[in-house]
């Protein structure tokens, strides 16, 4: 079981919106493929996780499983599945306090006071969903791998369904070991086909994503290796968030925008095309005197919405006794804002794209954590391995931590404490 407790400053944004999006997702569209050999006997494992916010505003339960079955001597079949439930309230709109009328608790406001003139950089409140949301998602990945000498070929098809979202995908991967197996070259390609059917709006939209991935791993010595990867993604179709809203101070209707039920409040609208690219480098070094390993990673991301990000991470793996491992971690992340993002707009833009989604803002995150793990093998006739983990992580997210210039924003600034425990069982 994995339990996450998040403590945030009052009126700050919910960190779990982004945390769970990453933690609960199915494996990445184009996963890294390593050349090798198939397993000799079937394996399976199961994991249960639970995420909750400190005030229980957000609760997420996750059930995950995996089965891998060998097929003759050169192939294997894999099945990954996940069922998760989400309940709670999330922010949908930012409003200057001066114009918000008839505050109604956690749900936000009833109307807007149009007699007030809004200026930039005024105090802002967040309008939450009016009622607690409950959703359940089902996802499954079916994979087939074929091993031929130093070459591995992999095909995966994926399916994910929730009340307002249906996703279908496939991915192809190739990995080649050469240079006496000191070097591995990997290539991948995948496509995702999404259908968006929001529960609060009468719209039906589609999105298609294409991704190409390249990877190169090199063993430098008996103690170290380095890995380089690059990927490119092209998204087209409906890329807006159908639930997010934005305030735009204007006396006339805004071109191509849909009114969201209150004066000067419109639904989020983003470009229908997005190009994304990233490069990453990772270095691993084994330190023999301490029987420890250091992992150092850097990733740079850039997209056509004018967002770029930098991620630096260092992880130390230190065995402290038989079957026990201590893992401290330090991470820094920084991103710039999208060209069409503001907490609210005091005037219209030349292009009809607007968003107040905090995930598109400029901010930085500095975090540090510590994890303790232990595992037991050959437990009994039914259980091959049991692994237990407990961890603690503290993070500060703030606009002032961003690389480069940015304006301060109370919407994106908060601290959180993440406490985790997990039990993973491999049958």
Task: Give the per-residue pLDDT at 109.
Answer: 63
3-state secondary structure of 262: coil
Contacts of 234 (CB under 8 A, 6+ apart): 209, 210, 211, 273, 274, 275, 276
CATH number for 223 = 2.40.160
Q: What is the mean pLDDT of residues 23-29?
A: 32
In a domain, 276, yes or no: yes
Number of domains composing the chain? 1
In a domain, 182, yes or no: yes
Least confident of 110-114, 159-163, 385-389: 110-114
In a domain, 274, yes or no: yes
Residue 64 predicted with pLDDT over 60 = yes
| 27 band by pLDDT with thresholds 50, 70 and 90 | very low
Find the distance separating the first CA and the last CA of the chain, reported in whole Å. 16
In a domain, 263, yes or no: yes
pLDDT tens-digit series, residues 35-48: 567 777 788 877 77
Q: Report residue 372 as tokens.
A: 């303790």
In 3D space, the residue among 350, 316, 411, 354 whose CA is nearest the CA of residue 94 turns out to be 411
Q: Report residue 255 as tokens.
A: 């071109």
3-state secondary structure of 290: helix
Residue 354 predicted with pLDDT over 50 = yes
pLDDT tens-digit series, residues 139-178: 999 999 999 989 999 999 999 999 999 999 999 999 999 9
Least confident of 114-118, 371-375, 378-382: 378-382
In a domain, 145, yes or no: no
Q: Which domain holds residue 210?
A: 8-40+151-426
Q: What is the 3-state secondary structure (H, E, C) of 134-154?
A: EEEEEEEEEEEEEEECCEEEE
Long-range contacts of 173-176 (CB under 8 A, 24+ apart): 173/30, 173/31, 173/32, 173/33, 174/33, 175/33, 175/34, 175/35, 175/151, 176/35, 176/150, 176/151, 176/152
């Amino acid at each position: 079981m994995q339990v996450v407790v998040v403590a945030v400053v009052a009126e700050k944004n919910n960190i779990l919106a982004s945390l769970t999006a990453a933690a609960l997702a199915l494996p990445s569209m184009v996963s890294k493929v390593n050349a090798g050999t198939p397993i000799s006997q079937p394996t399976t494992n199961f994991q249960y996780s639970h995420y909750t916010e400190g005030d229980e505003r957000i609760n997420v339960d996750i059930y995950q499983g995996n089965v891998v079955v060998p097929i003759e001597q050169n192939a294997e079949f894999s099945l990954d599945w996940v069922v998760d439930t989400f309940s709670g309230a999330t922010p949908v709109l930012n409003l200057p306090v001066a114009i918000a009328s008839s505050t109604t608790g956690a749900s936000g406001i009833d109307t807007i006071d149009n007699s007030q003139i809004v200026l930039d950089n005024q105090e802002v409140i967040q309008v939450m969903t009016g009622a607690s949301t409950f959703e359940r998602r089902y996802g499954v990945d079916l994979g087939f791998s074929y091993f031929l000498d130093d070459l591995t070929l992999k095909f995966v098809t994926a399916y994910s369904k929730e009340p307002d979202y249906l996703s279908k995908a496939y991915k192809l991967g190739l990995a080649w070991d050469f240079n006496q197996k000191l070097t591995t070259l990997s290539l991948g390609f995948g496509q995702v086909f999404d259908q968006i059917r929001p529960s609060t709006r009468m719209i039906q939209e589609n999105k298609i994503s294409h991704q190409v991935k390249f990877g190169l791993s090199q063993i430098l010595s008996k103690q170290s290796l380095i890995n380089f990867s690059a990927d490119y993604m092209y998204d087209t179709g409906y890329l807006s968030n159908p639930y997010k809203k934005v305030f735009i101070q204007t006396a006339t209707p805004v071109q191509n925008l849909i009114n969201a039920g209150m004066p000067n409040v419109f639904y989020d609208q983003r470009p229908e095309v997005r190009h994304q690219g990233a490069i990453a480098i990772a270095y691993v070094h084994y330190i023999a005197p301490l029987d420890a390993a250091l992992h150092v990673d850097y990733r740079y991301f850039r997209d056509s919405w004018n967002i770029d990000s930098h991620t630096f991470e260092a992880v130390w793996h230190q065995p402290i006794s038989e079957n026990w491992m201590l893992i401290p971690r330090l991470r820094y992340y920084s991103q710039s804002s999208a060209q069409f993002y503001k907490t609210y707009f005091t005037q219209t833009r030349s292009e009809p794209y607007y968003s107040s989604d905090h995930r598109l803002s400029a901010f930085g995150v500095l975090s540090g954590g510590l994890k303790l793990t232990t595992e037991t093998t050959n437990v009994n006739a039914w259980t091959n391995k049991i692994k237990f983990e407990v961890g603690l992580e503290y993070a500060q997210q703030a606009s002032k931590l961003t690389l480069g210039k940015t304006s301060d924003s109370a919407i994106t600034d908060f601290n959180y404490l993440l406490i985790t425990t997990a039990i993973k069982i491999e049958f």
